[in-house]
């Protein structure tokens, strides 16, 4: 962490405590570099950045620095599918096999798009191992493995976070319906019109803007992670123990491909991975970019004269479509609506209408239609928490100011 932290940017009058919380993330919570941006009713009210994007070169984090946002990528896929539905091309309540006939194998013929996207299909893993090379050079091998996969439980009867497979299945469903990849569509139909830096498949000319991602180091794993694994009786201890036990739903959900699992996080710092379209984990975005996308959703699908979709399409995800008190994978109360996360109201927003998607380490793209807020937070230090205390501190400070 830099010896002296300078917080850059602006906050609207009355939101100064958010700047204080942003600074506290560096001083007390180990932040390395980060950006935080909030729109309210289409107008930016908070735009902050600070720290370093690359420790080796001391490159500072600037206003438009981007970072890998991990599972916040899923929100971009969910939004892209929502646009297809808004245009009458996708019916959430139709079987996935209508659009992807091979999907019907292994008793999956009746699984609907809504069941799949709400993490209720039981398809939390792919039993056939695959690699980054397969994804890059033989994607049909992976698609065929997805089609052959049998559900872990009776589809529709329970919920378990599809950590990797949400992107594998959702991305192929998107391609079958749209005839193009989700990354191309995102660039052409969403991010481009909005002027938002959000990518799935980063063009090479933007690579110099991406912050280096720093996973938890050996010291943090030994002093913070291991004690949780062994002794912690709360949520994080339960998740750690489930992840460490081979064959559990938690372990299986994150195990394939191994190169992108917990021990392969450095791969996200490579040009190779940033260039791929992995619509569950390798999205690259700036805080401003995420905030602009979710600001449009907070306003019923429109921002600065650009209408992405009709208000009624957005209103459909104001309500929880799936909710369980103990998600099979994340081991906590959690819900979904057409692929967007519906968190507990004590987390990012006190309003049940809020939706979006967090990512590993703390990245967050979220909106609150009731308060008309669009939120983007990106950073480059991953931690050992299931939900980032840095992201939570920023959101809680924001709501205290409203």
The three-class DSSP label of residue 304 is coil
| Contact between 106 and 148 (Cβ < 8 Å) | yes
For residue 181, indicate whether it is catalytic.
no
- In terms of phi and psi (left: phi > 0; alpha: psi -120 to 50; beta: otherwise), the region of 239 is alpha
How, if at all, do strands 284-286 and 198-199 pair? antiparallel
Catalytic-labelled residue, pool 71, 255, 286, 388: 71
The HSE-up count of residue 244 (CA atoms within 13 Å, CB side) is: 11
Structure tokens at 357: 């998607």
C-beta atoms surrounding 112 within 10 Å: 20
258-276 residues labelled b (16+ CB within 10 A) or e (exposed)? ebbbeeebebbbeeebbbb
Give catalytic residue positions: 71
């Amino acid at each position: 962490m830099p010896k002296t932290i300078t917080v850059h940017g602006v906050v609207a009058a009355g939101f100064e405590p958010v700047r204080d919380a942003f600074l506290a993330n560096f001083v007390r919570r180990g932040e390395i570099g980060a950006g935080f941006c909030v729109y309210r009713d289409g107008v930016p009210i908070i735009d902050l950045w600070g720290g370093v994007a690359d420790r080796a070169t001391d490159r500072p984090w600037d206003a438009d620095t981007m970072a890998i946002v991990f599972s916040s990528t899923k929100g971009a896929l969910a939004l892209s599918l929502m646009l297809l539905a808004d245009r009458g091309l996708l019916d959430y309540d139709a079987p996935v096999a209508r659009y992807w006939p091979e999907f019907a194998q292994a008793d999956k013929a009746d699984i609907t798009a809504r069941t799949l996207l709400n993490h209720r299909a039981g398809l939390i893993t792919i039993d056939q191992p695959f690699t980054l090379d397969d994804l890059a050079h033989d994607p049909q091998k992976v698609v065929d493995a997805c089609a052959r996969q049998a559900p872990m439980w009776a589809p529709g009867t329970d919920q378990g976070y599809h950590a990797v497979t949400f992107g594998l299945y959702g991305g192929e469903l998107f391609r079958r319906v749209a005839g193009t990849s989700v990354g191309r569509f995102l660039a052409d139909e969403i991010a481009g019109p909005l002027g938002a830096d959000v990518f799935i498949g980063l063009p090479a000319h933007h690579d110099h803007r991406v912050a280096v991602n720093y996973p938890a180091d050996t010291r943090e794993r030994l002093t913070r992670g291991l004690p949780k694994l062994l002794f912690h009786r709360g949520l994080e201890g339960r998740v750690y123990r489930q992840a460490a036990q081979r064959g559990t739903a938690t372990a299986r959900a994150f195990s394939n491909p191994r190169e992108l699992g917990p021990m392969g996080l450095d791969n996200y710092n490579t040009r190779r991975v940033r260039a791929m379209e992995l619509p569950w984990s390798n999205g690259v975005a700036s805080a401003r970019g995420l905030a602009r996308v979710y600001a449009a959703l907070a306003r019923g699908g429109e921002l600065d004269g650009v209408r992405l979709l009709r208000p009624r399409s957005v209103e459909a995800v104001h309500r929880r479509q799936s909710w369980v008190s103990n998600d099979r994978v994340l081991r906590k109360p959690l819900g979904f609506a057409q692929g967007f996360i519906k968190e507990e109201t004590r987390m990012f927003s006190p309003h049940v209408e809020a939706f979006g998607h967090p990512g590993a380490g703390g990245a967050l793209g979220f909106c609150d239609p009731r308060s008309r807020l669009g939120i983007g937070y990106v950073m480059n230090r991953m931690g050992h928490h299931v939900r980032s205390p840095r992201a939570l501190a920023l959101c809680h400070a924001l709501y205290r100011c409203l």
